Structure 1
Amino acid sequence: MNPELTPALYPLRVTHLRRSPVHHYAEHRSYSWYVDIDRLPRLPRWLRPFARFEAVDHFDGAPGDTLRQRVDTFLARHDIRLPGGQVTALLMPRVLGRAFSPLSLFWCHDATGVLRCVIAEVQNLEGDRYAYLLPPDEDQPVAAVNQFSTSPFNGVEGYYLVRAPRPAEALDVTMSLHRENQPALVATWRGSRRRATVGQVLRLQLTTPLAPQMAALSMRAQAMILRLRGVPTVPRTTAPQNERVRQPMTVAAAGPNWAAKNRSWMPS
């Protein structure tokens, strides 16, 4: 890993294309930070309300745990231990106390710098989160069986294809929901790297203000449009009160037909 790549900012164009049961396209502007979770950015006090990173916004854990401790706990449940390894993450920070991140990504390396696994954590508007453990394949999408409802219109059937290469000068992430081997929903996050400077943070507050709040508002607006178009909702599966983050699911590398296989994956 090149330590000079973190921290960085990525102004994003986020798109959602729903192909079933209706064709619907939406996009909005946002941004994410790319950080080393052991060296989270320390901003001037007056700027911190616009970029705070709180461990409680990700995974589960004990009060007072750091984000790194929560990631290590998550990995340890699956017999993965990466002492001395770097974990970089693509995160949306809290802005004015509000936290909402539809997708957070964590790239987990061993002590030699080799990428060992990726964690994709998704969140819905109700505040429930679910973390998917993915293999470290950056050249092609990997498949993961759907276990979590991210919207009122998506149940837990089908599987995801996730392509999440580590950010460099460009960021290009795709996550698509497939049913019967056909894409029903495709979401993309694309942007270009910017230096994480005070000036850049301030510019983003002008060009993309209140990013978490606006992401949630965009999702609610699109949900209203889909309801007006007659798209049926599915019964919501609610996480237990004490289980905001559920256990990760089985995953598999994508095969020729990109179909999910029911087997667990672990790094060797």
Structure 2
Amino acid sequence: METRTDNAVVAPQLCFGTVRHRRLRPTTNAFDYGVYFLRLPLRTLGAGAFGPRLFSRNRFNLLSFHDRDHGDGKQALLPWIDGLLRAEGITDADGEIWLQAFPRVLGYVFNPVAFWFCHRIDGTLRAVVCEVRNTFGEKHCYLLDTGAAIGNGVELRARKQFHVSPFCKIEGGYRFRFMRSLRGASERTLACIDHDDASGPLLLTSISGSAAKLSNTAVATAFFTYPLMTIGVVVRIHWQALKLFVKRVPFISKPLPPSEPLSR
């Protein structure tokens, strides 16, 4: 397999793939299900539309993307991410910014995590911002920054500071790995997020997908293959929570919201 680290393809993508999740303790619980997600080259797109008639930007459609669903919900996306990076001392992420997230389906979306892949002008990955949400309507951003270019598959770490699940304490940290690769003409992406607590690995999660051009055909395929996918994301979250409750995994009440919007 040929490893790909550049940004030669700068058209919006709809990726078809799988979410996987495995809990290791105090009882095992695992699931996987099919999903699709967007990868959007924000600098190339600017404020323009995406093209397909079945996909809209900032208005209702079968599938859509609304700028206010990301960033601070107020600023345009590029000024927001560029400002965040500058505030953290990152001034060389002047290449493409790829945003990976679920689209709205019939106007509804819930993104447990969205990724901002921030590249240098030469195409190397400089930093990643992970935009995490919980079902209480709260959001927290983790900045992954090594101070240099980030290689394909390199492990990145961040201390956990945000309440996501009532079955996990706010302790320990995350291990991230991001990979892009080519197999023939097909581009594949993989994002792994593993959570370790004081006793070691606790949760192993990933989202993977094969990229397709964002087209009417791809939108129709996604919509009819996975009807009401984003509603299904929330339903599955609560279903898995019920299974953990039945298995008597300790329940942890939600603490106060974090006081800082960004952490490393």
Q: Which bracket does the TM-score occupy, shorter chain normalised?
A: 0.7 to 0.9
Does residue 89 in structure 1 map to residue 94 in structure 2? no
Match in the other structure for 2:172: 158
CA contact (8 A) 1:149 1:236 kept: yes
Equivalent in the alignment of 1:58: 70
Match of 1:74, SS? helix
Give the CA deviation at 1:55.
2.5
Q: Are the aligned partners of 2:130 and 2:142 in contact in 1 as well (CA < 8 Å)? A: yes
Percent identity of equivalent pairs: 27
TM-score, normalization by structure 2: 0.84
- Per-residue CA deviations over 1:77-120 (Å, capped at 9, x if unaligned) read 21223474210121111222212111211111123333211111
Relative to structure 1, the CA distance from residue 41 to residue 183 in structure 2 (aligned partners, 3 Å threshold; closer, same or farther) is farther
- Match of 2:38, as an amino acid? W
Aligned to 2:137: 127
**Larger displacement relative to structure 2 (226-235 or 164-173):** 164-173
Residue 249 of structure 2: which of 216, 231, 244 is its match? Answer: 231
Alignment of 1:1-268 (within 5 A): 1-4=6-9, 6-38=11-43, 39=45, 42-45=50-53, 47-48=55-56, 49-60=61-72, 63=74, 65-82=75-92, 84-135=94-145, 136-166=150-180, 169-180=187-198, 182-239=200-257, 246-250=260-264
What residue ranges of structure 1 are gaps of 5+ in the alignment? Answer: 251-268
Query: How many positions carry a matched residue from both structures?
Result: 244
One-letter identity of the residue aligned with 1:56: R
Alpha-carbon distance in structure 2 between the residues aligned to 1:177 and 1:117: 20
CA contact (8 A) 1:59 1:74 kept: no
> Once the 2 structures are TM-superposed, how far is the Cα of residue 204 of structure 1 from its aligned partner?
0.6
Superposed CA RMSD in Å reads 2.1
> The residue matched to 1:164 in structure 2 has which SS?
strand
> How far apart are the structure 2 equivalents of 1:122 and 1:195?
26
Alpha-carbon shift at residue 181 of structure 1 (Å): 5.7
TM-score under structure 1 length normalisation = 0.83
| Letter aligned with residue 214 of structure 2 | A
C-alpha displacement of 1:201 = 0.6
